[in-house]
Every structure is written in structure tokens, then in C-alpha cells.
């Protein structure tokens, strides 16, 4: 299927982890094409090889298949060491991995909540997005019907993430606090660790792009409350560039292993809302939210 030494990204616009890998490939400067699972080749070859209907998957020019967003990035960083996306210095490196984990895992409740708790308000958009992923053809009604069928499967994930009527207010408040902190940070820096993207940015792109910047309800919230964050999601899908507003910002990590001061409030929110889940004792994605903990202590 591959030719001309291209990487092939099998994914979809509305897929959380496809957004992570896509932005990595763009910022890494790797040549790739993106194809949808509706392509018969995906069904006949990729699903057979992976033994699972899942995206993203990256297929190399020689037919090797890489699956799982973190594993894909790790493998490609090893194969293409130029323009590294992992900081070389110890403090920045561990902070980058921590932020990657929080974005990739800790923000799942918020991402899934804003998609599925507001399903009615954004039903037509979601049907179209899920439909274009799995239905090949130009029949509009058939595509929307295919999308609706697939949505019914994913719609049931909220309880396993701890999202319910008792926790929704805490999830939304925490997300709004994070948007505020990120909006301030991206007023000062184009990326999380300064002037160069890294795995922290890709981890945050997972929830903040496909779910929270594209779905109508959370997208409107982001644009109105945190326009600098929305601009960052656009920046993360563009090639190596310096925004006009950051023309004087060096395109590199901060010197001397320094963490941006504006990142500190984001790290505080990370530990308040997700820190308990770093312990194997607390395995639920939702138990770490500070507002829920406070409510429990007050009972």
C-alpha cells in the first residue's frame, strides 16, 4: 500500500489519539499521508495484522505496522533522531513525560464528558464525523446511519471513567481552570516547554484537539474562554513555524533546563486533579479531582 517512502497514518479527524500522532508527525517533519479506516485496505490488511479495529496505526514504507500512540512516537523518535521531540535535560524531560501522561490519560474524563454528555447538542456533527471514518461512499444518509451505530458503542464509556451526575460539575470546573492556566501560558510561549514542541504538547493534543477543539460544545467554550489554547491547537497542526506573535521567541526549549514560570500553575492543577492517580492504590481516572476529594473530606 505504501510507496514513495511515505509513512501512512491510519486514523480519523475525531480520534483523540490520532490527533496526538498527527501533530507529532507534522512537527517532527516526517513525510506522511493520512487515510481513513473506511478504506478497504485497512479492513483487509491492517485490522488483520493488528487483530483489532483501532486507530491510530502507522504503516512504514516497508510494510511494518506500529500501533499505540506512545509506542509509535517512541519508535519513530528512535528511528529519526534529528529534531528530537524529547528534551535532553533531566528536569525538562521528566516534566515533558509527566505532562504527556496527564494529557494522554488524566484528561480522558473531560474529553469524553464533553463529547458524550452533550451528545444531543452536537448529534449531527458527531454522526458525520464517525460516519466518514467507517463508511466509504457518497450516500449521505448511509454515512450518518453508520456514524450513529458506531456512536452507540463509544457512548457507554462514561461510567468506566467515573463521569456521572455527581462528578460532572467537578470535571467541568477542573477543565475550565486548566483552560485558564493554559491560556495564560500560551500568551507567553508557543509550546508547553518554550519555543519548541515536545511530547508534552502531543500528549495534550490528544484531548484538546479532536474532542475539545472540534466538537461544537467544548470548541465554543475553548474559543470564548481560552482563545490562546485554540490557537495552539492550530499551531500544533502546522509545520515548523514561528507565529507572528512569537517572532522574537527562540525556537528551542528554555536554556539551563528551566521550566517556564507560566507552566507552574498547570503543574499544580495536574497534581491536584490527577496526582492521586499516579499511585497504584487509586486507579480510577476520576478519584483525584480535588473538588471531589474536598467534598468527601467535608462529609
Q: Which of 280, 294, 252, 289 lies closest to 106 in space, CA to CA? A: 289
pLDDT at residue 287, as a whole number = 44
Read off the pLDDT band of 143 (50, 70, 90). confident
- In order of their start, the domains of the chain are 7-79 (3.40.30.10), 90-115+163-298 (1.20.1050), 118-159 (no CATH)
**Whole-angstrom Cα distance, residue 171 to residue 164?**
10
User: What was the pLDDT predicted at 258?
Assistant: 97
What pLDDT is attached to residue 279? 65
pLDDT digits (tens, 9 = 90+) for 152-209: 887 788 999 999 999 999 999 999 999 999 999 999 999 999 999 999 999 999 999 9
**In this predicted model, what pLDDT tens digit does every residue of 31-88 receive, in sequence order?**
999 999 999 999 999 999 999 889 999 999 999 999 999 999 999 999 999 999 999 9
Output the pLDDT for position 290: 47
Q: Say what the pLDDT of residue 299 is.
A: 35
CA nearest 202: which of 19, 1, 9, 8? 19
Residue 294 in this model has a pLDDT that exceeds 70: no
Contact call for residues 2 and 8 (beta carbons, < 8 A)? yes
- Residue 169, beta-bridge partner list: none
The answer to whether the CB of 102 falls within 8 A of the CB of 54 is no
pLDDT at 298 over 50: no
**Arithmetic mean of pLDDT, 276-286:** 59
How far is it, in rounded angstroms, from Cα 226 to Cα 182? 8
Average pLDDT over residues 244-261: 94
pLDDT-based confidence at 21, cuts 50/70/90? very high
Burial of 141: CB neighbours in 10 Å, binned 0-12, 13-18, 19+: exposed
pLDDT band at residue 4, thresholds of 50, 70 and 90?
low
For 59, the enclosing helix (H) or strand (E) is: strand 57-59
By CB atoms closer than 10 A (0-12, 13-18, 19+), residue 49 is middle
Name which of 10, 78, 15, 24 is nearest 203 in CA terms.
24
**Cα-flanking dihedrals φ and ψ of residue 58, to 5°?**
-110, 130
Long-range CB contacts for residues 144-152, cutoff 8 Å, separation at least 24 = 151/119, 151/126, 151/127
Give the per-residue pLDDT at 297: 37
pLDDT of amino acid 275: 87
Confidence class for position 149, pLDDT limits 50, 70, 90: confident
Residue 232 burial (C-beta neighbours within 10 Å; 0-12, 13-18, 19+)? buried
Query: CB 172: neighbour CB atoms within 10 A?
Result: 16
Q: 168-188 and 290-298 are packed helices; what angle lies between their axes, rounded to 10 degrees?
A: 140
Per the CB < 8 A criterion, the answer to whether 213 and 219 are in contact is: yes
Task: Label residue 1 by pLDDT band (50, 70, 90).
Answer: very low
Q: What is the pLDDT of residues 100-119, one digit of tens each?
A: 999 999 999 999 999 999 99
Amino acid at each position: 500500500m505504501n510507496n514513495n517512502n511515505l509513512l501512512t497514518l491510519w486514523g480519523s479527524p475525531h480520534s483523540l489519539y490520532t490527533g496526538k500522532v498527527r501533530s507529532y508527525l507534522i512537527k517532527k517533519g516526517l513525510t506522511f499521508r493520512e487515510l481513513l479506516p473506511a478504506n478497504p485496505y485497512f479492513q483487509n490488511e491492517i485490522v488483520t495484522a493488528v487483530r483489532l479495529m483501532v486507530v491510530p496505526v502507522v504503516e512504514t514504507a516497508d510494510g511494518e505496522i506500529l500501533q499505540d500512540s506512545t509506542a509509535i512516537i517512541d519508535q519513530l523518535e528512535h528511528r529519526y533522531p534529528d529534531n528530537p521531540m524529547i528534551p535532553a535535560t533531566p528536569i525538562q524531560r521528566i516534566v515533558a513525560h509527566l505532562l504527556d501522561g496527564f494529557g494522554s490519560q488524566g484528561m480522558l474524563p473531560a474529553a469524553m464528558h464533553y463529547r458524550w454528555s452533550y451528545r444531543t447538542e452536537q448529534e449531527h456533527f458527531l454522526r458525520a464525523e464517525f460516519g466518514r471514518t467507517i463508511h466509504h461512499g457518497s450516500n449521505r444518509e448511509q454515512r450518518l446511519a453508520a456514524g450513529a451505530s458506531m456512536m452507540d458503542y463509544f457512548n457507554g464509556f462514561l461510567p468506566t471513567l467515573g463521569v456521572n451526575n455527581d462528578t460532572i460539575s467537578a470535571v467541568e470546573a477542573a477543565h475550565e481552570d486548566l483552560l485558564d492556566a493554559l491560556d495564560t501560558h500560551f500568551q507567553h510561549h508557543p509550546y508547553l516547554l518554550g519555543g519548541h514542541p515536545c511530547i508534552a504538547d502531543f500528549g495534550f493534543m490528544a484531548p484538546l484537539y479532536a474532542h475539545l477543539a472540534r466538537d461544537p460544545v467544548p470548541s465554543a467554550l475553548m474559543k470564548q474562554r481560552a482563545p490562546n489554547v485554540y490557537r495552539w491547537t492550530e499551531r500544533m497542526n502546522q509545520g515548523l513555524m514561528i507565529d507572528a506573535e512569537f517572532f522574537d521567541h527562540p525556537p528551542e526549549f528554555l536554556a539551563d533546563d528551566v521550566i517556564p514560570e507560566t507552566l507552574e500553575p498547570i503543574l499544580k492543577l495536574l497534581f491536584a486533579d490527577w496526582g492521586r492517580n499516579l499511585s497504584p492504590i487509586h486507579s480510577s481516572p476520576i478519584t483525584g479531582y480535588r473538588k471531589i476529594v474536598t467534598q468527601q473530606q467535608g462529609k
